[in-house]
Structures are given as C-alpha cells and as structure tokens.
Amino acid sequence: MKKVLIIQQVAHEGPGRIGEVIESSGIVPEFVMAFEGQRIPKTLDGDTALIVLGGPMGVGDDDRYPFLKDEISLIESALKIGAPVLGICLGSQLLAAAAGARVYSGAVKEIGWYPLYINSEGKADRILEGLPSEIEVFQWHGDTFDVPGGAVNLASSELFPNQLIRVGEHAYGLQFHLEVTAEMISEWLSVNAQELEGVKGVIDPGEIRAKTSTVMTELERMGQSVFLKFCDFEKQL
C-alpha cells in the first residue's frame, strides 16, 4: 500500500481537502504533528510521498521552531530520491529553501482571495492540466521565495511573482491554499485576529467571508484535480 507522510505545523492548519483525496485514492496517510514535538524522520521509505503543510512561522524562525531545520533536511532527502513532495504555503518556502533558494519577507501581506495566473510552463505541467489560465485562490502569507536553480515557476499573482514551483519531476511548492474549506477559513480569521488587526483598512475579514461563499465550490473542484494528480505520482512509485 502506498503511503504519504504529512507534516502539520500547527493545530489549526490541517490537510483539509488533501486528506479527503488521499483517503479516496487508497493511499495511507501518516501524520507528524511537529507542533506537538513529534519527531521528524530523517528519510522517507521508498514508497512514501511527502506533504508539508503551512503555518504562521517563517523559515528563518528555526531558533523558536527547531523542527523546521529537520523538515528542510527531510525535504532535501526526498528530493535526492525523487519522491513526490507537495509543500503548501510555509511548506512551499521550506521546499524552496531545501532546493537552495532564498526565502524572505515580502513587501506586503497577501491574505484573502486573489487571482492566480498560470503561465505557459504551468499550462504544460501535468499537475495543472485542465485548469484555466486565471483562477481564484486563497492566500495567507507575507514571506516569499526565489525560484531555486533548475526549478520552474508555474504561476504568479499581482503581488508575488513566484507562487507555484516545480523542483525536479515530482516536487511542487504552492504558496497559496487549494486545500482549505470554508470552515478552515473561518477558523483562521478567528485564530489570527491579531494579525488581521495589523492590516486593518487594507484587508477586510468581512469581504473574505463573503467571497468565500461564492468561490469555494470552484476552489474545491480545482483542488481535487491537482491533489488527484499528485496522488497519481505516488501510485507510480
């Protein structure tokens, strides 16, 4: 039976719809709750994929969150053996760092619903097959990354040019959130109320809630498409 190791950084940022797709694909998920002090393995088994979820910390916060260094080491190991890797938000930044790229603070925060523009490289990529050139996605980040050497950027937004990278054949970093549900967004708005207070007048939680009710069905469809294709990589191991 194929397996996937899922690293969760904080209690309120779970796998969301990724978990549903994994279970329906017959792949066995194994969770590492980094925030609970569970050990990050040094390597992956040969039939295991890796998913690294998001969190409010940054790649450079390893003094407070030492498990981040262990995650980078694990991603490096996964890249060496060509294992499927999916990094989301913080996970995409950790993937970029593991591949040798710079991760740094952006000029602004990108929180809420934003257009994402898939470029020609992205349109030709298997994981994005069938998606339109412009899609609406959910964002929650302030940090960003450079494209690692040898990697390919597949999509951008108006605020951040590097939104979706492919490293090697089967490793992808998504700065945005295709996995979220409406319930997750509602919880994040509550849990991160202090952060939102700092961007008051620029980012409106009420507008985010209203937009969520109109675009969530389409996000679910796109997320299922992308995650199913990622699971196909795992089945081919």
Q: CB-hemisphere CA count at 13 Å for 89? A: 27
The two tokens of residue 136 are 């609406």
Which residues are catalytically annotated? 89, 177, 179
User: Residue for token digits 């569970």?
Assistant: 38
Q: Residue 1 pLDDT more than 80?
A: no
Q: Is-contact 28 67, C-beta < 8 A?
A: no
- pLDDT tens column, 208-235: 999 999 999 999 999 999 999 999 987 7
DSSP structure string for 37-71: TPPPPSS--TTEEEEE---SS-TT-TTT-THHHHH
Q: Which domains does the chain have, with CATH numbers?
A: 3-235 (3.40.50.880)
Q: Is-contact 12 203, C-beta < 8 A?
A: no
Q: What is the largest CA-CA distance in the chain?
A: 50
Say which amino acid occupies 36. E
Record the pTM.
0.97
Region 147-156 average pLDDT: 99
- pLDDT tens column, 28-71: 999 999 999 999 999 998 889 999 999 999 999 999 999 999 99
